[in-house]
Amino acid sequence: MTYKFSEKVSHLQASAIREILKFTSDPEVISFAAGNPSPEAFPVDELNRISEEIFKKNPIGALQYSLTEGYTPLRDLLKKELEKKGEFDPERDDLIITSGAQQANELACKVLCDPGDILCCEAPSFIGSLNAFKSYNVELKGITLHEDGVDLKELEEAFATGKVKVFYIISNFQNPTGLTTSLEKRKAIYELAKKYSVMILEDNPYGDLRIKGEAIPSIKSMDKDGLVMYSRTFSKILAPGIRVGYISAPKEIIGKIVVCKQVADVHTNIWAQMLAYNFMKDNDIEAHLASLRVIYKHKLELMIEQIEKNFSSQIKFTRPEGGLFIWCTLPEGSDMTGFCKKAVAEYKVAVVPGNAFMVSESDKTASFRLNFSTPTDKQIIDGCEKLGKLSKEMFGD
């Protein structure tokens, strides 16, 4: 039987990241390809205690159907926390709990974009969101990403066509580059969105993982016109497996997202929402985040130290102030895909080729992504030494 797939999915391909992760089943392979939190970062004992308490005191509440909008105590707590930072206007905004930020971003696109609409994004950008957007047959327009954020001239040229519905941005420690959009560019992006009536979808999964430098106000905190949708997640600060994220946006938009989520999955796992709520309520969150930053500061600094020690000087790389990723760029004209394939096949180190993060995987890039949060210290040292040998073999010292 030959299957004819819908136009929504026929053009979608398996994630290049997932394809490379297949190699990591080989116990000899060191993986710098994942985007997982460090195993050391999970507060296992506390989550176990909270879970036991939930099933002792309110088992039916955790196991029964519930509200699509999410667990009310958690929603109320998150609204208050966002309001303190100027990221939630109780008169204008609402908030819904989603199955991770991935679903939040997918639903935001679903309720605003029709097939053929243009959605602008950073180039490169997070492959999970790109595939979600592509599933609605939107036209993706990548905007060149510089060290301080997107190219504003390119962005305005796109907005000026009058065809752009949404601009998607990962403002802090961007995936895959680790770069952060400067305050000046955040202000400029907001003003351009206001000028051309474009909605902004600001994705901030890594903002709490700043390990140096000063925090920068979110674009959402600048929003006085109902232009910004703001998605966040517990995946990087608590546990990705519980699949709890959320999005705040103008009430009219959240109302449509509620209806779409009812169709998709009725509601996010209630036990997991109760777990997240009780963890936030019972613990010193700032102390918890501080402990995570200690872990990631060590790992980031170790990987940068090993890159500097081992890699060919022809390879350039970003120096993030937080997050989980480093973006490496080979000399212009290099066979980046060949480098990545040789790294995993011959040197037993898995990295993600940069074209996986482009609007189209046919777009040319000489870059690849490294993750420093998941591997052990020994794996970081050994893996960087192996990649260093390969880089010097291909590009010299």
For residues 393 and 269, give the distance between their C-alpha atoms in angstroms, rounded to a whole number.
50
Residue 231, helix vs strand vs coil: strand
Quote the pLDDT of residue 25. 72
Quote the pLDDT of residue 160. 97
For residues 129 and 77, give the distance between their C-alpha atoms in angstroms, rounded to a whole number.
27
Low-confidence stretches of the chain (pLDDT beneath 70): 9-24, 361
> Per CATH, which fold does 58-282 belong to?
Aspartate Aminotransferase; domain 2 (3.40.640)
Quote the pLDDT of residue 26. 78
Task: Provide the CATH number for the domain formed by 16-43+287-395 in this structure.
Answer: 3.90.1150.10
For residues 85 and 76, give the distance between their C-alpha atoms in angstroms, rounded to a whole number.
15
User: What digits encode the pLDDT tens for the residues 279-296?
Assistant: 999 999 999 999 999 999
One fold for both 16-43+287-395 and 58-282? Answer: no
Q: What are phi and psi of 122, to 5 degrees?
A: -65, 150
Amino acid present at 193: A
User: What digits encode the pLDDT tens for the residues 316-358?
Assistant: 999 999 999 999 999 999 999 999 999 999 999 999 999 999 9
For residues 316 and 370, give the distance between their C-alpha atoms in angstroms, rounded to a whole number.
13
Quote the pLDDT of residue 15. 57
The encoded tokens of residue 59 equal: 């088992």
Quote the pLDDT of residue 14. 63
For residues 77 and 14, give the distance between their C-alpha atoms in angstroms, rounded to a whole number.
37
Q: Before 124, cis peptide (omega within 30)?
A: yes
For residues 382 and 296, give the distance between their C-alpha atoms in angstroms, rounded to a whole number.
18
Quote the pLDDT of residue 360. 83
Q: What are the residue ranges of helices labelled H in the chain?
A: 16-21, 44-57, 59-63, 72-84, 100-112, 127-134, 152-159, 183-196, 251-264, 270-282, 285-310, 336-345, 377-395
Quote the pLDDT of residue 19. 60
Taking the domains of the chain in order of start, what are their residue ranges? 16-43+287-395, 58-282
Quote the pLDDT of residue 383. 98
Q: How far is CA 347 from CA 188, 303, 329, in A?
A: 44, 18, 19
Quote the pLDDT of residue 12. 65
Stated pTM of the model: 0.94
